Amino acid sequence: MPAPFAPLIETLPSSVPFVGPEALERRTGAGFRARLGANENVFGPSPKAIEAMRAAAPEMWRYCDPENHELRHALALHLGVSPANVMVGEGIDGLFGYAVRLFVEPGVTVATSRGAYPTFNFHVQGYGGRLVMAPYVEDREDPASLLELARKENARLIYFANPDNPMGGWWEAEAVARMIAAVPPGALLMLDEAYGEFAPPGTLPPLDIENEQVLRFRTFSKAYGLAGMRLGYCIGHERVIGAFDKIRNHFGVTRMGQAGGVAALADQDYLNQVVRQVADAREEIARIARSLGLMPLPSAANFVAIDLGRDGAYARRVLEALAAAGIFVRMPGVEPLNRCIRITAGSAEDLRILAAELPAALKATL
Amino acid sequence: MPAPFAPLIETLPSSVPFVGPEALERRTGAGFRARLGANENVFGPSPKAIEAMRAAAPEMWRYCDPENHELRHALALHLGVSPANVMVGEGIDGLFGYAVRLFVEPGVTVATSRGAYPTFNFHVQGYGGRLVMAPYVEDREDPASLLELARKENARLIYFANPDNPMGGWWEAEAVARMIAAVPPGALLMLDEAYGEFAPPGTLPPLDIENEQVLRFRTFSKAYGLAGMRLGYCIGHERVIGAFDKIRNHFGVTRMGQAGGVAALADQDYLNQVVRQVADAREEIARIARSLGLMPLPSAANFVAIDLGRDGAYARRVLEALAAAGIFVRMPGVEPLNRCIRITAGSAEDLRILAAELPAALKATL
């Protein structure tokens, strides 16, 4: 007898948002020499976070604290809000899944930008939501277009990333604050600030935990270098934050991640050093691009989108040539963004390999 | 403006399935001397798993492999099935959430036993399912009662744990195989075998990955001693296992957990040693109970339910007296199971503390 799937499940595709670099390595049988595709932090987590995790390893027979008390309280202190305004989850991806579930049921409309974060769309579709998309404007997610679309389509959720992925663009805090103020009644803004620590001062608007219509998403996966530990957090009104408890996997975050996250957060000197290293790497990627006659886009994140000046098929071929040369890179999925390839801020050695291989990759595809 | 929650969310309670021992410690301001309430494995994970996690710590800037390739393949080899028959997730709790979502939509009926695992019920309610409950029979979950209820109520999911939690009872493999064979058309059996490694040989029926109507759930949280790393797995027909990819958080399992899980699975000698230590601890808990005139229930898990011979209010008071003496223990939530307290297989020192404190806890409440 067949398994009795719910009708919605039967309609969903089996496609997954991202193929991991390990899967690509298994296909080719060769390891990547430079891992520059997933916007990981190649400079790694704070040595204090590594030490905290090593010290915690023998304690892993104990369940995690389902309240994430220590990490949540440390975050609250760091952010100047109450612990009741902070929810910790299994990466921003995990929190997106919960947040979408809180607001979306079949038929509910959700507004995002065409080419923005695919995993958010995956969750919306997974709960039967109806996605509507505004275009990027001058390679940035566009608040005015998103708000207009949301009003016209009666969207219940609006997704906006600042800085943006995959293009790296950003808006100043004042523009984002105006967007927040203009969220229509009956809608909620999911503001993805995963790359916020890399952005120039004045990019992130002040937190306003009195506003029930906005959720801010941040992560330990990028600037804090703990992508492998799956630690994201979400900041908002306590009524909205409290609602996660109705549905989340309370024991979803690891005890090890809790230990690593607390130690990483406490080491802001290391964070500041990483942010400087990332800024230097962005400059070097831009220099490599320009030296080959290519256009690097301005970025406030830990990657640079390089405009190759042709179409998506060409960019795809360059990507494949780079992969064949041992360099893992990704690219935007839709026009016109897919004229670009997106390169993560790498180590000096990573970028030396990139500089050596990119010219051939650009030519091999002629 | 209020946040625009989906109507189902507004109906859900904010209560959580379990309060963690850390939360209890924060309330009293004192740490527990013996942690015997969450059926953790106090003997800890394999030293090889600890070493693997320590070695992996500096690599945590990398995302996990979303396919869980190494762990899934190691499990498949260990189990004698294909990797396509195994799904790894954020603990059994996380997999329960996904599995319920695959089958339950508002109004769908789900059958379980009154007093069985609360987190399963939490997920069913969270997706709008309608729970119906069969009674325990002679302190065991009862296959015949569950099947009859499922048929009568047209249940789409049936939950059954073997060995059972919180009572520790079990059925022989033949009885479970008969239950599997009798699952009604249009239904699926979720068979929770979290404690399977502790059970006598002949408790777990053979895997049958041709059957679309059963999913088997197992974990690294119990016998493998990695509760803090959130690693569960699920075995079934490849069509059902494949459906998890439609909805799961693909990057939900940590890279550290993947490393620890592979190493723990490879160390079966250590596992066997732990299983013996747990069996000895069960005997010691039973001896302590009998020495006080109490009745220990037979257990195939890493805990023993002790029948205190009175009502739930009395058991609750004993529990609180134990907590005041620094011993963390839990108890079943419903009658008539709640005449018992449930004590995890502890270390020799844990059980020495238990033996010393239990007599006073029993008396203090008179």
What pLDDT does residue B84 have? 98
**Which stretch of DSSP H or E encloses residue A148?**
helix A143-153
Q: Averaged over A26-34, what is the pLDDT?
A: 92
Residue A125 in domain: yes
CA–CA separation, A77 and A90 (whole Å): 21
Work out how many domains chain A is built from and give that number. Answer: 2
CB contact under 8 A, A14 and B245: yes
- φ, ψ of residue A245 to 5 degrees: the values are -65, -20
Give the pLDDT band of residue A16 (cuts 50, 70, 90).
Answer: confident
Contact residues on chain B for A222, CB-CB shorter than 8 A = none
Among A240, A266, A292, residue at a domain's last position: A266
Walk along chain B (366 residues) in steps of 10 and give the mean pLDDT of each run: 94 86 91 96 98 98 97 98 98 98 97 97 98 98 98 98 98 98 98 98 97 98 98 98 97 98 98 98 98 98 97 96 96 96 98 98 81
Q: What is the chain A residue with the closest CA to B121?
A: A247
If asked whether residues B71 and B147 sit together in one domain, one would say yes
Residue with tokens 């992925």: A165
Q: What is the chain A residue with the closest CA to B106?
A: A6
Show the 3-state SS of B142-158: CHHHHHHHHHHHCCCEE
CA–CA separation, B37 and B318 (whole Å): 13
Rg of chain A in Å (alpha carbons): 20
CB contact under 8 A, A67 and B257: no
User: Which among B1, B35, B212 has the least Cβ separation from residue A1?
Assistant: B212
Contact residues on chain A for B93, CB-CB shorter than 8 A = 249-252
Residue with tokens 């969450």: B38
Q: What is the chain A residue with the closest CA to B38?
A: A63
User: Which among B56, B187, B249 has the least Cβ separation from residue A90?
Assistant: B249
Which residues lie below 8 Å from residue A285, measured CB to CB, with a gap of 6+? A296, A304, A306, A343, A345, A346, A351, A354
CATH assignment at residue A290: 3.90.1150.10
Are B15 and B122 within 8 A, CB to CB?
no
Q: What is the pLDDT of residues A243-272, one digit of tens each?
A: 999 999 999 999 999 999 999 999 999 999
Identity of residue B154: N
Residue A365 has pLDDT above 70, yes or no: no
Residue A13 in domain: no
If asked whether residues A37 and A53 sit together in one domain, one would say no
Contact residues on chain A for B45, CB-CB shorter than 8 A = 58, 60-61
Contact residues on chain A for B188, CB-CB shorter than 8 A = 3-4
Q: What is the pLDDT of residues A48-85, one digit of tens each?
A: 999 999 999 999 999 999 999 999 999 999 999 999 99
Are A193 and A217 within 8 A, CB to CB?
yes
Nearest Cα neighbor of B240 from B258, B213, B218 is B213
Are A328 and A31 within 8 A, CB to CB?
no
- Interface mutation vs chain B, best among A90, A249, A278, most B CBs within 10 Å: A249
Residue A205 has pLDDT above 90, yes or no: yes
What pLDDT does residue B15 have? 77
Chain B: nearest CA to A308, how far in angstroms? 27
Q: Averaged over A193-218, what is the pLDDT?
A: 98
Residue B358 in domain: yes
Among B213, B236, B266, residue at a domain's last position: B266
Phi-psi category of B309—alpha, beta or left, where left has phi over 0 and alpha has psi -120 to 50?
A: left
If asked whether residues B280 and B321 sit together in one domain, one would say yes
Tell me what the pLDDT averaged over chain A comes to: 97
What pLDDT does residue B255 have? 98
CB contact under 8 A, A250 and B94: no
CB contact under 8 A, A65 and B23: yes
User: Which among A60, A102, A187 has the least Cβ separation from residue B5?
Assistant: A102
Contact residues on chain B for A97, CB-CB shorter than 8 A = 249
ipTM of the complex model: 0.97
If asked whether residues B21 and B128 sit together in one domain, one would say no
Among A266, A288, A308, residue at a domain's last position: A266
If asked whether residues A331 and A292 sit together in one domain, one would say yes
What pLDDT does residue A366 have? 59
CB contact under 8 A, A3 and B247: no
Residue A8 in domain: no
CB contact under 8 A, A251 and B93: yes
Contact residues on chain A for B239, CB-CB shorter than 8 A = 2-3
Whether the pTM exceeds 0.95: the reply is: yes
Q: What is the chain B residue with the closest CA to A24?
A: B65
CB contact under 8 A, B225 and A260: no
If asked whether residues A352 and A318 sit together in one domain, one would say yes
Residue B9 in domain: no
Nearest Cα neighbor of B16 from A109, A67, A3 is A67
What pLDDT does residue B282 have? 98
If asked whether residues A200 and A123 sit together in one domain, one would say yes
If asked whether residues A223 and A280 sit together in one domain, one would say no
Contact residues on chain A for B208, CB-CB shorter than 8 A = none
If asked whether residues A173 and A103 sit together in one domain, one would say yes
B24: domain range? 15-44+269-364
CA–CA separation, A52 and B103 (whole Å): 40
H-assigned helices in chain B: 7-11, 21-28, 47-56, 69-79, 91-103, 118-126, 143-153, 173-181, 238-243, 255-266, 268-291, 312-324, 348-364
Residue A4 in domain: no
A-B C-beta contacts closer than 8 Å: 282
On the CB side of A354, CA atoms within 13 Å amount to: 30
CB contact under 8 A, A91 and B251: yes
What pLDDT does residue B28 have? 86
Are B288 and B354 within 8 A, CB to CB?
yes
Nearest Cα neighbor of B181 from B103, B83, B173 is B173
